[in-house]
Structure 1
Amino acid sequence: MASLQQLSPQPLWQWFEQICSIPHPSKHEAKLIEHIKAWVETQPSVSIKQDHVGNLILSKAATAGMENRKGVVLQAHLDMVPQKNNDKAHDFVTDPIETIIDGEWLTANGTTLGADNGIGMASALAVLGSDDIAHGPLEVLLTIDEEAGMTGAFGLQSDSLTGDILINTDSEQEGEIYMGCAGGIDASLTLDLDYQAVASNSHHFTVNVSGLKGGHSGCDIHLGRGNANKLLARFLFNAPSDLNLALADIKGGSLRNAIPREGEIVFSVDAVQSNALQAYVAQFTQAVTQELALAEPNLSITLKESNSASQVMTADSQHRLVAMMHACPNGVIRMSNAIEGVVETSLNMGVVSVVDGKATVLCLIRSLDDSSRNNVESMLAAIASLAGGNASFSGAYPGWKPDNSSPVMALVREVYQQIFQREPDIMVIHAGLECGLFKKPYPDMDMVSIGPTIKFPHSPDEKVHIESVAQYWQLLVELLKSIPTK
């Protein structure tokens, strides 16, 4: 594990090092919460409370002479996405993140780093712990379970905060100021399966897809990366009929909001078809590796013999499952007409699994527009219906509608230009920031989102640009100093 003591700004990196040392995947933030509570006991100027869902709200009075400034809420989420390479032995509930300094970047050893949103959290806690950063009345809101359902943001009540301005720290590109984001909803397609005995004289095989980049199902969805689940569905749907490929199991992906990097199928074919199967795998591999050569140079598709399966799906069940998966849309559905270069609506087929005779396909729909989101919901419902399955939808969260007249957005732009002598980009992000949910209990709160440059979040390739963290910190400190009076 790399020592972060050499990096600047030290207060931020010291906190991030502590955060990496304490496991905190979604649903398992308790140890980190207790660590923060224990730290507050050593800080007489900081108070803390925990709300009914588990969010932390920390407060600090204004520095002398700034009592009349507008109150600011610095906001981050406590949890991180747990993703690792197949060959990495790591338990996200018990093991610390192993950090690596790689030139200009900080990354992790075979796992997600948690810079999303650990850097933002570290910056907020570093501000609270500092005695030489000027600020008005200050609150820090640390939400739970952002990555797996936004439970904390959904549960935030209207009497929890007193601030006038909220600065979300969950953006992932230095030089960009975010003033809006997509909303989303989880989709679950389920299909009951029937099984039959394995034919005699069958050979059993596994096809594994690996080496894909994966990534954030919002920020990276427009990059044309491969989806392991979709590749497996394509392989099965297009398999020559004379192979009589009989599917025993399929699984791929682990999170609905991460583009699936790996997946595998287990199946049987008649022994006499072994050579034909190898030829089809080679043909399929050549076709998709050529298609994805630029986007996915490390794509790997392997065929190996497998242990005997006790049963396989009936031909009807297999056909309906494979057809449902293959027909399911994935990736960018529509680009925005209003905001050039921004994805309006997308779908990620994140997880496929078969448990106790039921196949489940978990997807995440994102959209800047509720009507477009509803249209994709109806598409999935239609596909599930045609396959004889069911579609259900849950966890809908609203988008954050851009406000071109936002005073804090204008202030961040002005401060950024003064510091760096260049104009920042004002952006809308195709990802689920919590600001849209905060607008319900706090409709009049002025909000903006900033952050350092983080590449490949939600994948083991996640990395944060070290210099951009210093730039983000400089912007944050100057911004707090520049907050206007009430």
Structure 2
Amino acid sequence: MSELSQLSPQPLWDIFAKVCSIPHPSYHEEALAQYILGWAKEQGFWAERDEVGNILIRKPATAGLENLKPVALQAHLDMVPQKNNDTVHDFTKDPIQPWIDGEWVKARGTTLGADNGIGLSSALAVLADKNVEHGPLEVLLTMTEETGMAGAFGLQPNWLQADILINTDSEEEGEIYMGCAGGIDFTATLPIDREAVPEGFAHIQLSLKGLKGGHSGCDIHVGLGNANKLLARFLFTQAKALDLRLVDFTGGTLRNAIPREATATLAVPADKLDALKSQALHYLETLKSELALKEKNVNLVVENVAASGPALTAASRDAFIALLNSTPNGVIRNSDVVKGVVETSLNVGVVAIRENEAVINSLIRSLIDSGKEYVVETLTALAELAGATARAKGSYPGWQPDATSPVMALVGETYKKLFGRTPNIQVIHAGLECGLFKKPYPDMDMVSIGPTITGPHSPDEQVHIASVGLYWQLLTALLKAIPTK
């Protein structure tokens, strides 16, 4: 038995413990999908998959509630795989290890997958719990949301029968989401030339680490450090001055996670090695001062390594470092319409140097299409100045807020009756699948709710236990309060 079994509501936490035990990072959700299909059929529910792998499960209405509008509960199957550098974990094979730390559930050295595992578990718990009263019910579980929303893109019309969709992918209890940002991936690819490292050079690895990382949408305004940008800043000031030869650069693992670590492999003239170490120490003190309130564990480590092949020519080195250093990152503009919400941002998520090219991958988010277009144009101009090729792909729409949404009003009324306080109506600066669902189901009324999850997309991810109980109360009360057709 998992220690989560002691938590309430028990059916939800038991299912979440099972979800954690089955590896399900993006592109590797099949084992979890097969388990859920088998479970649904054992319970006697109608269940099937579509061409892209999405799962749809149907449960008849509670006796006497057959005339309520049909509702779909929606979650995604995949989780973001991020781990601490000293954690040994294969996300495709090893289970997540959840544990209780006071008021929170966390994972040991990895992302927890509460995003969106808690929402997924709540939908299955509604199916399993005979005490939950509801009208005609569907559960839609989508594929590969975290790396491009493939399941939502592939959702076909006329499959769902629901009039109302409740998305369970929000991450703040007490807030109702009625809109979200759209996004687009941007890649700058810079051709590079290499040459042999001269004699008399020492080979070192310069690693910036210890950053918190986080969700590239929900956390982009917090002021967290981006390892790719911080290391590029140091290289820009020191590469020419110390005659550094850049052999390799790698940073970040996902375009939708703020990168926690970045590493440059360098060759430095032996007589300038001490100067490099001194400058690195000075830069570290600068970062500790600048990021004192946000990044208490930032570190810049210089280590000796074996020689590892040719380095970039000076021209290629300078072009790469200048391009990375000048690429904007973070909040571009705050919304004038929705106060306190970011309108447009980008995250320089993954950077890598290959044999003959350097690649910079960013994720752009915006509540408005023109915001995305502006950042794409900016990055394209930078790429052209550096001699790089630019490619924008995978654009997905935002979810336009509907202030007249009946289900949003119902959630607000239900919340106030349950808890005696008014919830916040919000637009989230992250990609929810609702915007994509609107294409095949333009008339479906949608809302997004969830428990409190902090640090998603990072090993600091945790879910607040009490908030899960409140979310469950809201969800189950809402299902009973759905109006008739």
Task: Measure the CA separation in 2 of the matches of 1:242 and 1:383.
Answer: 24
Aligned-partner residue type, residue 142 of structure 1: L
Structure 1 residues 10-21: aligned runs within 5 Å: 10-21=10-21
* DSSP-derived class of the 2:241 partner: helix
1:479 corresponds in structure 2 to: 478
Alignment correspondent of 1:322: 321
Q: Distance in 1 between matches of 2:283 and 2:421?
A: 48
CA distance in 2: counterparts of 1:211 and 1:240, whole angstroms = 23
In 2, distance between residues paired with 1:355 and 1:203? 22
Q: Distance in 1 between matches of 2:128 and 2:143?
A: 21
Q: Residue in 2 aligned with 1:38? A: 38
In structure 1, the residue matched to 2:461 is 462
Aligned ranges for residues 46-195 of structure 1 at < 5 Å? 46-195=45-194
Task: Kindly state the Cα deviation for residue 240 of structure 1 after the two structures are TM-superposed.
Answer: 6.1
Q: For residues 384 and 276 of structure 2, what CA distance do their matches in structure 1 show?
A: 32
Aligned to 2:3: 3
User: Is residue 351 from structure 1 mapped to residue 319 from structure 2 by the alignment?
Assistant: no
Corresponding residue of 2:330: 331
Q: 3-state SS of the aligned residue for 1:352?
A: strand
Contact kept in structure 2, 1:328 and 1:383, CA below 8 Å? yes
Alpha-carbon separation, structure 2, partners of 1:242 and 1:188: 29
Q: Distance in 1 between matches of 2:161 and 2:312?
A: 57
Q: 2:353 corresponds to which letter in structure 1?
A: V
When normalised by structure 1's length, the TM-score is 0.99
Measure the CA separation in 2 of the matches of 1:96 and 1:375.
Answer: 41
State the AA in 2 paired with 1:284. Answer: Y
Alpha-carbon distance in structure 1 between the residues aligned to 2:424 and 2:241: 56
The 1-side partners of 2:207 and 2:240 are apart by 21
Shift of 1:41: 2.4
Give the letter for the 2:412 counterpart.
R
CA distance in 1, matches of 2:6, 2:287: 44
Partners of 2:148 and 2:215 lie apart in 1 by 15
Give yes or no for contact 1:198–1:309 (8 Å, CA) kept in 2: no
Deviation at 1:2, TM superposition (A): 5.2
SS in 2 for 1:26: coil
Q: 1:429 — aligned with what?
A: 428
Contact 1:2-1:98 at 8 Å conserved across structures: no
Gaps of 5+ in 2: none
Deviations 1:289-308 (A, max 9, x none): 11011110110111111111
Partners of 1:27 and 1:243 lie apart in 2 by 43
Matched AA of 1:167? I
Q: Secondary structure at the match of 1:282?
A: helix
| Distance in 1 separating the partners of 2:476 and 2:2 | 26
Q: Deviations for 1:135-189, whole angstroms, at most 9, x for unmatched residues?
A: 1110000000000110000000001101000000000000000000000000111
Count of residue pairs the alignment pairs up? 485
> Is 2:110–2:459's contact at 8 Å kept on the other side of the alignment?
yes
| Equivalent position SS for 1:241 | coil
Q: What amino acid does structure 2 have at the position aligned with 1:307?
A: A
Q: Tell me, yes or no, if structure 1 residue 28 matches structure 2 residue 28.
A: yes
Which segments of 5 or more consecutive residues in structure 1 lack a partner in the other structure?
A: none
**Matching residue's letter, 1:7:** L
* Corresponding position of 1:401: 400
Q: Deviations over 1:425-454 (max 9, x none)?
A: 000000000000000000100000000000
Q: What is the alpha-carbon distance in structure 2 between the residues aligned to residue 214 and residue 462 of structure 1? A: 10
Q: After superposition, give the CA deviation of every residue in 1:203-251 in whole Å (9 maximum; x if it has no partner).
A: 0111101110100000000001000000111011011633101100000
Range with greater deviation from structure 2 (301-310 or 311-320): 301-310
Q: 8 Å contact 2:183–2:395 — kept in the other structure?
A: yes
CA offset at residue 355 of structure 1?
Answer: 2.0
- Verify the 8 A CA contact 2:259 2:349 in the aligned structure 1: yes
- Structure 1 contact 2–101 (Cα < 8 Å) conserved: no
- Aligned residues of 1:237 and 1:326 also touching (Cα < 8 A): yes
Counting aligned pairs with the same residue, the percent is: 59
How far did 1:269 drift?
Answer: 1.0
C-alpha separation in 1, matches of 2:240 and 2:125 = 62
SS at 2:119's partner residue?
helix
* Matched position secondary structure for 1:179: strand
Match of 1:272 in 2: 271
Residue 249 of structure 1 aligns to which amino acid in structure 2?
A: D
TM-score for both structures, normalised by structure 2: 0.99
- The alpha carbon displacement at 1:356 in A equals 2.6
**1:355 and 1:120 mapped to 2: Cα distance?**
39
Which residue of structure 2 lines up, in the alignment, with residue 221 of structure 1?
220
Q: Is residue 344–residue 372 contact of structure 2 (8 Å, CA) maintained in 1?
A: yes
Distance in 1 of aligned mates of 2:185 and 2:241: 37
Tell me if the contact between 2:239 and 2:245 (Cα under 8 Å) persists in the aligned partners: no
| Aligned-partner Cα distance in 1 for 2:227–2:259 | 5
- Contact 1:15/1:126 (<8 A) preserved: yes
Mapped to 2, the partners of 1:249 and 1:42 lie a distance apart of 52
Aligned residue for 1:387? 386
- Alpha-carbon distance in structure 1 between the residues aligned to 2:166 and 2:113: 19
CA contact under 8 A between 1:112 and 1:458: conserved in structure 2? yes
Instruction: Quote the residue 1:212 is aligned against.
Output: 211
Contact 2:2 2:14 in 1 (8 A): no
RMSD over aligned Cα atoms: 0.9
Q: Matched residue of 2:273: which SS?
A: helix
* Counterpart AA for 1:319: D
**CA distance in structure 1 between the partners assigned to 2:2 and 2:108 by the alignment:** 10
Paired with 1:242 and 1:99, the residues of 2 have a C-alpha distance of: 48
Bigger CA drift: 68-77 or 1-10? 1-10
Residue number in structure 2 paired with 1:289? 288
SS across alignment from 1:41: helix
